[in-house]
Amino acid sequence: MLRLSKMTDYAVVVMGQLASRPDCRQSAASIAENTGLPTATVGQVLKALSISDLVDGTRGAYGGYLLSRSPSAISVAEIVVAMDGPVAITACVDGADDPCNVQAGCLLRGSWDAVNSAIEGALKGVSLEDMLAPLFRFSVSKSSELEVRS
């Protein structure tokens, strides 16, 4: 089973929380309260996202965190790379950190690159805004129904 780390999942949740209030700086504590994640975990996630320039953090009494770009300009791939490093589904994929023990005699050497590229392309093709779309569609469709009936 191909599965992202919990920290990557938490990062998407944190980014979604920041996207829900794009013009308002949010503290790590308020993000933790609104998402139900532990404050220490939110802090770790925000640090990694800040290093990757996905969020902007400001210290001080009026500090907090904002997305560095609009949700439509941030891909899921960027969040995955910020938390887990480059997408590499096997050890023999170009750019993988761990060397493969049987690479020299493997008949499939290099064959996983196409699969890896397809997965990476799919992640790049989905923005943070796309991830939030079901929530926004629900809100819009509900308000549209109310307008039609009135």
Length of the chain: 150
> Domain residues for 47?
6-149
- Domains identified in the chain, total number: 1
Q: Is residue 81 one of the residues assigned to a domain? A: yes
Q: Is the pLDDT of residue 140 over 50?
A: no
Whole-number pLDDT of residue 98? 64
Q: Which residue has the tokens 């109310």?
A: 146
Give percent above pLDDT 70 in the chain: 77
Please give the Cα distance from 51 to 4 (Å, whole number): 20
pLDDT band, very low/low/confident/very high, at 138 (cuts 50, 70, 90):
very low
Chain segment 97-135, per-residue pLDDT in tens:
666 666 667 777 677 888 889 999 999 999 999 998 876
Residue 1 domain flag = no
Ranges 2-6, 48-52, 88-92, 144-148: which has the least confidence: 144-148
Residue 10 within any structural domain of the chain: yes
In a domain, 110, yes or no: yes
Phi-psi region of 74 (alpha: psi -120 to 50; beta: other; left: phi over 0): beta
Question: Which amino acid, 20?
Answer: S
- Total-model pTM: 0.81
Q: Please check whether residue 23 lies inside any domain of the structure.
A: yes
Q: Is-contact 17 35, C-beta < 8 A?
A: yes
pLDDT (tens digit per residue) in 40-80: 999 999 999 999 999 999 988 888 999 999 999 999 999 99
DSSP string covering 41-109, please?
HHHHHHHHHHHTTSEEEE-STT-EEEESS-GGG-BHHHHHHHHH-S--SSTTSTT-SSPPTTGGG-TTT
Residue 43 belongs to a domain:
yes
Give the pLDDT band (50/70/90) at residue 136.
low
Q: What is the CATH number of the domain that holds 75?
A: 1.10.10.10
